[in-house]
Structure 1
C-alpha cells in the first residue's frame, strides 16, 4: 500500500493509523495514513480497534459501486470490535476499558475510531475480538433477516445461498438453533463442513439448483436468503412455498459490472415490488441493515443494540461458532481485500492493528 503521513499531534506519543480508499483503485493502491488520535467530544468515545472486517461492501466500494458510499477519499470499514480508550463529557466513565462492538458502515479500518457512545454494544466476557468481529455486520444481518423479515419458526425449511460465506454461515447456524431445516448452496469443497453443521448442501456449480431443491422440498421452502441477485433471483422466488418469503440482501452477480451503481439495486427493487403484487401469498423484500435510521435514529439504535446483543450472547453460549478465514494486520489491508475477493475462503477475513 502507499503511505502518507500527517504531522504528529505533539500532545500524543501514540498515533492513529488508518487505511484510505482514495478512489476507484486496485487493492494495492490503498493508502496508509498516520496522524493524531482524535479527542472525544460530548457523548463520544474513542475505541482502540482490535479487529475490523473485510466485507462485500468494501469490495464494491473500491470499484465505486456500493450504492450509497461516501465520496472519495474515505476510510472504509463496515464494523469493528475494540476497547474504549477515552470518553467525552456525558459518557459513563465506567465504559473506559470495556470491549465493545460497533456497526460503522465506513471508518472501521483504523487503529482508533471516534464513535457516538450510543452506537457501541458491549461484548460479553469470554468472547475474543476477532471472534466477535465476525458476528457484527454479518450477525446482525443474519439475525434480522431471519427473525424480523422472514420471521422463521421451528419446523420450517429454508434455502440459504452462499451457506459457507460470512453472512451465510451465521444464517444457517442461527436457523438451526431455532429448529429450522436448512438447505444451503455452496461449492463442493464446503459440503463436508455444512453437513457437519446439519445443513443439506447443494453444489451451485454442478447441480441444477431449482431441480435439486424441488426434490428436497417438494412443497417449496418457507424462506430463501439470496445475496446473489441476477437471473437466479427468479429461481429463488419460484422455490417459495405458499406464504413463503424471499429475502434479497445483495447483488453479488453484478459485482464486476460497469455503469451506474444505483441501477442494479433499482432494478432488483422493481422486481421484488412486481412479485409482491402477485396474488399467491408469497412475499419478497430487500434487506438493508440501515433501513429506518433516517426515520427514527433512537428506534434504530435500540433495535440494533437488542439484536446485536442476542447475536453476541449466542456466540458466547456456543450456539453459533465464529469462522475467521484469516487475520492480517491493518498495514496488509490490500492482501486482505484480495483474499476476501478471491472466493476461496470460508468465513470472514479480519484486520487487526
Structure 2
C-alpha cells in the first residue's frame, strides 16, 4: 500500500516542505492501517520547522501531531485482543509526528474511537487541543464550578476548546485575544480582554481577589503577570513559549529556563502552584496509564462535541498537498480555531 506524506527536510520556511510517496508494509500484530481523513497544524509544527520544539525528532521527518481516520486493515486478530476496533471504524490518534499523510500504520492501543455522528474535521479540532485542554483544566488545575480562570489566546486552537470546556463546567473565563478577535471570544462565553491592554489591571477589575487558574501558552516576560494574577491556592499552567517563537536560539534551553522559573515560584511559601504542562509526560514510564487516561479524556471531549455541549472551531481546511500554505496560514496570527489538513476536504467535513 502506498502512502503520500509531507516531509520536513530541515530547518526552513513552510515552502521547504516536500511531498513523498512510499510503500507501507501490511499491519503487524497489534497494528492498524489507517486511512487519514484529517490532521491539523499545531504550535508544535511551527516550532519544529524552526528546529525549536523540545524533544523533536531528527530531520527529515513527517510532521503531524495528531490525526483522525478510518481503519482500513487490522493486523493478526489474535494479537489485537479485545481492542473493540474494526475495519471501517473512525478513530483518532495522538501521534506527535507522522500525521501529515494519507495513510499511516499505528498501534491499535493508541487509537480512540470517534462517535459516528462526529465528522473527521470536527474530531480533528479536539484531538491534541481537546486532550490538552481537558487535562490542563481537570487534571492539572483541577478547576471547579464557580471558579474564575484566565485563558490567554482564548480564540486559538487550545484556548477556544479550553474556554468551552470551562464554561461547560460552570467556570467563569476571562479570555485574552487581539482586538479583532474580541467578538469571537465573547461568543465562546468568556469575558474578552485585549492582550495589548493592561491585562493585569483588567483582570483585577473583573476578579479583584485573583483567579483560580491562569493558562498561559505565551511565556516570555508576561509569565510573571500570569503568576501575579493568581488568588491564594491558585494554579498557573504554562504550556508553551509563543513569545519566543521567532527568536533565535535553542528551543530546549528556552523551555528549561521556563521550567526552572516555575520551580522557583513553587518553592515560595504563598500557597500558589506553577506547572509546566507536557502532554506527553509519563508516557515513557507509564505507557498503559498514559493510553488509558488519553482514551478516557478524549472520550469525554468527543462526547461533549457529539451532544452539542461544545462546538468544533475550524478556521480553514487545506488539502494535504498544500500543507505549506496551511502552515503559513497557521502562523499568520489571524486564526480562530483549528487549521485542518486533509487528503480529501469534501469527505472530512
Question: Do the structures match in fold with TM over 0.5?
Answer: yes
Residue 182 of structure 1 is matched in structure 2 by 173
Residue 311 of structure 1 is matched in structure 2 by 301
Alignment partner of 1:261 is 2:251: yes
1:197 deviates by 2.6
Alignment partner of 1:332 is 2:319: no
Residue 221 of structure 2 is matched in structure 1 by 231
Query: Which of residues 191, 198, 210 is equivalent to 1:208?
Result: 198
TM-score, length basis structure 1: 0.95
TM-score, length basis structure 2: 0.96
Alignment partner of 1:108 is 2:99: yes
CA RMSD of aligned residues (A): 1.0
**Matches of 1:255 and 1:221, distance apart in 2:** 27
Residue 122 of structure 2 is matched in structure 1 by 131
**Matches of 1:165 and 1:347, distance apart in 2:** 5
Alignment partner of 1:26 is 2:13: yes
Residue 211 of structure 2 is matched in structure 1 by 221
Number of residue-to-residue matches in the alignment: 339
1:25 deviates by 1.2
**Matches of 2:217 and 2:181, distance apart in 1:** 18
User: SS at 1:233's partner residue?
Assistant: helix
**Matches of 1:256 and 1:95, distance apart in 2:** 44
**Matches of 2:84 and 2:173, distance apart in 1:** 44
1:93 deviates by 8.4
Q: Is the 8 A contact 1:54 1:350 kept in 2?
A: yes
**Matches of 1:348 and 1:144, distance apart in 2:** 19
Residue 135 of structure 2 is matched in structure 1 by 144
1:267 deviates by 0.4
Q: Is the 8 A contact 1:38 1:46 kept in 2?
A: no
Residue 350 of structure 1 is matched in structure 2 by 340
**Matches of 1:198 and 1:293, distance apart in 2:** 34
Residue 85 of structure 1 is matched in structure 2 by 72
User: SS at 1:95's partner residue?
Assistant: coil
Residue 288 of structure 1 is matched in structure 2 by 278
**Matches of 1:94 and 1:250, distance apart in 2:** 34
1:193 deviates by 2.1
1:319 deviates by 1.1
Query: Which of residues 27, 33, 39 is equivalent to 1:40?
Result: 27
**CA deviation vs aligned residue, 1:85-136 (integer Å, no higher than 9, x gap):** 1111122685111000000000000100110000000001200000000000
Alignment partner of 1:57 is 2:47: no
User: SS at 1:231's partner residue?
Assistant: helix
1:200 deviates by 0.4
Farther-moved stretch of structure 1 (187-196 vs 221-230): 187-196
User: SS at 1:65's partner residue?
Assistant: coil
1:141 deviates by 0.1
Unaligned runs of 5+ in 2: 344-349
1:37 deviates by 3.2
**Matches of 1:192 and 1:299, distance apart in 2:** 40
**Matches of 2:261 and 2:328, distance apart in 1:** 32
**Matches of 1:324 and 1:192, distance apart in 2:** 16
Alignment partner of 1:16 is 2:3: yes
Unaligned runs of 5+ in 1: 1-11
**CA deviation vs aligned residue, 1:269-308 (integer Å, no higher than 9, x gap):** 0110000011111000010110011111011111111001
